[in-house]
Amino acid sequence: MLIISIILEATVMAIAILAARDGRPYIYGLAFTFGAYVFYDLARFLRWDVEGPLLSGLFLVATASALVSVWMLYRDRPR
């Protein structure tokens, strides 16, 4: 299951990067968020010792980044 999750997260990240390069730069925030998820799941899968404050900080920044991206998506909608 973890491998499938990593593949799906990496796919979302890649699509977000393509969308950002296509004129919506705030979507890079979603790409960063899913990149953080990929890093976390890879760390678990490969048993890297990166628990604790590093991951907590990374997830805080990733969540804030996703929030900004979603807010900008909301504001960018057609009226």
Report the alpha-carbon distance of residue 37 to residue 59 in Å, rounded.
8
pTM over 0.75: yes
Residue type, 40: Y
Judge contact between 30 and 16, C-beta under 8 A.
Answer: yes
pLDDT tens digits, one per residue of 12-58:
999 999 999 998 898 999 999 999 999 989 988 998 887 778 888 99
What is the number of structural domains in the chain?
A: 1
Domain span including residue 66: 2-75
Q: Which residues lie below 8 Å from residue 19, measured CB to CB, with a gap of 6+?
A: 27
